[in-house]
Amino acid sequence: MDLDTSSEISRPPSTFQRVSDRGFRILSLGFAWLTILVVLYIIWEIGSKSTPAMKTYGAGFLTGTTWDPNTGEFGILPEIWGTLYSSILALTIGTVFGVAVAIFLTEGYLGTVVYNTLRLCHLQQHRLFSKAPTACETLLKNLVELLAAIPSVVYGLWGIFVVIPMIRPTCNWLHESFSWIPFLGTPLSGPGMLPAALVLAVMILPTIAAISRDALVSVPPKLREASYGLGATRWETLLAVILPTAAGGIFGAVVLAFGRALGETMALAMLVGNANRISVSLFAPGNTLASLLANNFAEAGGDENKVAVLMFAGLVLMAITLVVNMIGALILQRATRGLKGLN
Amino acid sequence: MPELIDAPAPSQSAGSDQPNLNALERSLRKPRTFFSVLLSILATLLTIIALVPLFSVIFMLFYRGGSNLVASNFWNLPPAPFGEGGGFGNALVGTLVMVGIASLISVPFGILAAVFLAELGPFSRTANVVRFCAKLLSGFPSILAGVFAYSAVVLVTGGFSAWAGGIALSILMLPIVILTAEEAIRMVPSKMREASIGMGATHTQTVLRILLPTAMPSILTGVMLAIARAAGETAPLLFTALFSNYWIVTNNQLDLNQPTASMAVLIYNFSGVPFENQVQLCWSASLVLVLMVLVVNLVGKSLSSRAPQR
């Protein structure tokens, strides 16, 4: 049977349409490829600009502790230490609060409280209030997400004018009373590791809370129901069934937050004190790789050696964050795959 | 016994007419029940404490920034150290210009790449690599975008410029646009796509007339989120656009090849100075910046929530 191709509705694509279709496909493929090229170009650009410094300083750059542009001696061990130390401190605080927020959101505490309050007033069936428990939970979720929307430079400002003055008396009292503990070995004279880590913890909390919440929500409900059915209390269920099942997802969240904390610049540049030294004291000023770059790049000017050295530091930062982010993404991927068998 | 099956959670169901249910009642005197309640209270407390910084930041912004914000702040230049008054007019313009440049680069780029990922070759090896690269970029420290733009633009053109700042920001916006636009195009029901192809439309016609218009609200959400993120970024601008105390004009014409002020860098520069007037301005600028970012965020989110769910 012949197809009627004379009608306007059922004609095959015209040559122009075929050519433009081909062109559009190639354009789209081209931009997809361009994404890959952009990533490669970034890595190549930073890598090639730092080769002079790699040749001059070699591995000693990673283990040196002096940073002196006048003598041309450069080492970034204090910065690597500061980056890891501040991020791990922030991660410890952020994980405790972030997972607590995720549990609070998924266990429906707020909804239960609102519902019970309404029931006390016999309003739970009322048209105006019947949606209140869900609305409150959504509001809380959005408030936590709002934390992520505030620019980091504003957190830095808040850290300078609110956090440091607030914690300073307590920190100095701790230092005077327990100065034999290495962590409390120096007084807090202003900027330092602890205020930087506290602000950093606030900044990574939404990441941990959001991804952990996703992990907790995706635990199959029948596991929870089976545990309740066996007579377990809410927290016995959480600790023995739900958290272990969601552990992969939560761990992935923590690793991704670690990646964010390592690369965070502004809040740390404003709060960490920019002192080139290694100290375990929570109150001592330090420095991080990102804030080293932030503070020195603008003045590097035409000094090619200094640019190369800073590019090398940037390359080290990139390598650390890329490895951490990839591990986090892999863990999350495996965690979601592992849950599929349970459904 | 249907009553037993229909009974709500055991803790609330101490039915007096059913003595066998009393055994299920949970008393706080039992250690395990007490432990559970204790941890619930702990989780609630931790959540409340976690929200304290948010309210503290917002309170400080309105208390210190709002009390001194006057209309002339919006069109005046930053004050000298001991100067009076002043404003952040040039920084506001600079932020808008650089975010504009970044959007012009990353939005068409991101949407076209997303069309490939979602529609033209979703399972190809290229698509997997592109997705991996986009995820890599989204976890990329923002300061490294600045390092890259410094090396690729500032060193090549020989000076700090709004272009360099815009390019640095576009690298941060790109992965957000790609990943959200891909998700948005995927969300278009496959029957619409199949109907279009069944009618004899070419792939291009399907994409341009059916998929993109249907997915547009969600794509715009992604674009708005990317813009909100770029507007608040400081690190990529520090040594690409630098800062300037003047308007970005040369001979009364817009000139993008010179150091450009931005809100975020203004806040950073004035946060560490001992001059009261500049610190006040810094808080006012923070309030304006946060409000800008939040409005863009909320508008973006409301766009996709109002989109029809099919």
Tell me if B126 and A161 make a contact (CB, 8 A cut-off). no
Spatial contact of B187 and B215, defined as CB atoms under 8 Å apart? yes
- Closest-CA residue of chain B to A155: B57
Tell me if A307 and B54 make a contact (CB, 8 A cut-off). no
Spatial contact of B25 and B9, defined as CB atoms under 8 Å apart? no
Residue A146 is which amino acid?
L
The contacts of residue A328 (CB under 8 Å, 6+ apart) are A252, A253, A254, A255, A256, A258, A259, B139
Query: How far is B206 from A17, CA to CA, in rounded Å?
Result: 12
Tell me if B46 and A100 make a contact (CB, 8 A cut-off). yes
Question: From the candidates B150, B170, B229, which should be mutated to test the interface with A, based on the most A CB atoms within 10 A?
Answer: B150
Question: From the candidates B204, B265, B302, which should be mutated to test the interface with A, based on the most A CB atoms within 10 A?
Answer: B204
**Using a CB-CB distance cutoff of 8 angstroms, which residues of chain A are in contact with residue B262?**
none
Tell me if A36 and B174 make a contact (CB, 8 A cut-off). no
Spatial contact of B98 and B165, defined as CB atoms under 8 Å apart? yes
Residue B304 is which amino acid?
S
Tell me if B234 and A259 make a contact (CB, 8 A cut-off). no
Question: From the candidates A35, A87, A330, which should be mutated to test the interface with B, based on the most B CB atoms within 10 A?
Answer: A35
- Closest-CA residue of chain A to B205: A21
Structural domain spans, chain B? 2-60, 71-305
One digit per residue, the tens of pLDDT, for chain B of length 310 reads 333 444 444 444 444 455 566 666 667 778 888 888 899 999 999 999 999 999 999 999 999 988 888 888 888 888 887 778 888 999 999 999 999 999 999 999 999 999 999 988 888 899 999 998 998 898 889 999 999 999 999 888 888 999 999 999 999 999 999 999 999 999 999 899 999 988 888 888 999 999 999 999 999 999 999 999 999 999 999 989 988 888 888 888 888 888 999 999 999 999 888 888 889 899 999 999 999 999 999 898 888 776 554 4
Q: Residue A283 in 3-state DSSP?
A: coil
Query: How far is B223 from B111, CA to CA, in rounded Å?
Result: 10
- Give the gap in angstroms from C-alpha B254 to the nearest C-alpha of chain A: 24
Say whether pLDDT at A178 is over 90. no
Query: Highest-confidence range of A1-5, A22-26, A117-121, by mean pLDDT?
Result: A22-26
- Which ipTM did the prediction report? 0.88
Spatial contact of B174 and B161, defined as CB atoms under 8 Å apart? no
Tell me if A256 and B203 make a contact (CB, 8 A cut-off). no
For residue A199, which of A251, A165, A160, A149 has the smallest C-alpha distance?
A160
Confidence (pLDDT) at A239: 92
- Give the gap in angstroms from C-alpha A146 to the nearest C-alpha of chain B: 8
CATH code, B71-305: 1.10.3720.10
Domains of chain A by start residue, with CATH:
57-340 (1.10.3720.10)
DSSP sequence for A188-199: --SS-HHHHHHH
- Give the gap in angstroms from C-alpha B80 to the nearest C-alpha of chain A: 20
- State the first-to-last Cα distance of chain A, in angstroms, to the nearest integer: 50
Compute φ and ψ for B139, nearest 5 degrees.
-100, 10
